[in-house]
């Protein structure tokens, strides 16, 4: 399998690269990407061990930033706008701190550059069990099985987008064992934050008012690494781009098209 990140492209124009969160994929951004494609060339990536991208040991943000650099070079993209949600937001921040000359504007959706104590233990256990019981012949059977681990219906629907059709039935495409093995790296802070690096370009942080991922107490951490910071809030939880897609899409468009003084 190629070590190049898989992607989906929409539209023409100034490049906007979008990165999903943990257990997500480029597919989750299809609707917003089509909206933005009227103004930009939108590239939605599958990060390592997710979607159609390669499976590999290691999930730390230095590795993922290198994945992104390799992909940008392969596409001859010298400088891009970078948007990441959750885990993808940490990849975006690490990349912008390490390679600031490659980023025009940075957008971070509902994540801060800190270590979290949030746990996905039940989800990881559920996906591991789902993987061990493959193949699945009906999605509703898999959903019923996963409900023993994850009670929230919307979360299960999101997780089950990782079940894809194979010759013998439905199989999990997310590399759950590789993710579980290096889960500590995923909840950790972007390592470049500890090296006193900074990205001085325009930075927009979008947070959900009903999410606890980006609290006021964490804003000084942001400003340490991203001094040219703006904050926008939406009446949403952690999946603000799905819950408030229209408002989220407009905030992103306005920020990217604004002429900086």
Of the candidates 74, 67, 69, 93, which has an alpha carbon nearest to the alpha carbon of residue 82? 93
The pLDDT of residue 142 is 97
Sequence spans of domains, the chain: 7-115+188-257, 121-181
Pairwise CA distance, residues 254 & 188, whole Å = 31
Contact status, residue 47 vs residue 5, Cβ threshold 8 Å:
yes
Concerning whether 86 is annotated as a catalytic residue, the answer is yes
Concerning whether 20 is annotated as a catalytic residue, the answer is no
pLDDT along the chain (261 residues), means of 10: 88 97 97 97 98 96 98 97 98 98 98 91 96 95 97 94 95 97 96 93 97 94 94 96 97 92 65
Task: Name 226's Cβ contacts closer than 8 Å, sequence gap at least 6.
Answer: 93, 96, 106, 113, 198, 199, 203, 205
Please name the residue that has the structure tokens 């079940």: 163
Token pair for residue 111? Answer: 């994540």
CA 115 to chain centre: 16
**DSSP tag of 86:** T
Please identify which of the residues 85, 86, 211, 241 carries the catalytic annotation. 86
The pLDDT of residue 153 is 94
Pairwise CA distance, residues 229 & 200, whole Å = 9
The pLDDT of residue 1 is 52
The pLDDT of residue 261 is 65
Cβ neighbours of 235 (radius 10 Å): 11
DSSP 106-156: EEEES--SS------HHHHHHHHHHHHT--BS-HHHHHHHHTTT---HHHH
Please identify which of the residues 20, 85, 238, 241 carries the catalytic annotation. 238
The pLDDT of residue 218 is 94
**DSSP tag of 32:** H
CATH T-level assignment (fold) for domain 7-115+188-257: Rossmann fold (3.40.50)
Q: Is 47 helix (H, G, I), strand (E, B) or coil?
A: coil
Contact status, residue 240 vs residue 195, Cβ threshold 8 Å:
no
DSSP 167-216: TTEEEE-S-HHHHHHTHHHHHSPPGGGGGT----S-EEEEEETT-SSS-G
């Amino acid at each position: 399998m190629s070590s190049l990140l898989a992607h989906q492209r929409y539209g023409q124009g100034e490049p906007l690269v979008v990165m999903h969160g943990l257990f997500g994929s480029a597919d989750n951004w299809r609707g917003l990407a089509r909206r933005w494609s009227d103004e930009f060339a939108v590239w939605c990536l599958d990060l390592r061990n997710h979607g159609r991208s390669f499976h590999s040991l290691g999930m730390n943000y230095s590795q993922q930033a290198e994945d992104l650099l390799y992909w940008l070079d392969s596409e001859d993209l010298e400088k891009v706008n970078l948007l990441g949600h959750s885990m993808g937001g940490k990849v975006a921040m690490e990349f912008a701190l390490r390679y600031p000359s490659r980023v025009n504007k940075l957008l971070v959706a509902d994540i801060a550059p800190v270590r979290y104590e949030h746990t996905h233990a039940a989800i990881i256990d559920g996906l591991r069990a789902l993987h061990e019981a493959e193949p699945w012949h009906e999605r509703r059977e898999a959903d019923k099985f996963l409900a023993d681990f994850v009670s929230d219906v919307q979360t299960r629907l999101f997780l089950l987008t990782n079940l894809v059709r194979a010759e013998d039935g439905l199989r999990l495409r997310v590399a759950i064992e590789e993710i579980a093995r290096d889960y500590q790296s995923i909840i950790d802070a972007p390592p470049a934050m500890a090296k006193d690096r900074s990205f001085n370009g325009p930075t927009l942080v979008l947070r959900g008012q009903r999410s606890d991922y980006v609290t006021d107490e964490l804003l000084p951490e942001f400003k340490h690494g991203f001094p040219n910071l703006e904050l926008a809030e939406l009446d949403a939880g952690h999946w603000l781009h799905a819950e408030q897609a229209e408002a989220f899409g407009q905030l992103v468009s306005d920020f990217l098209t604004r002429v900086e003084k």
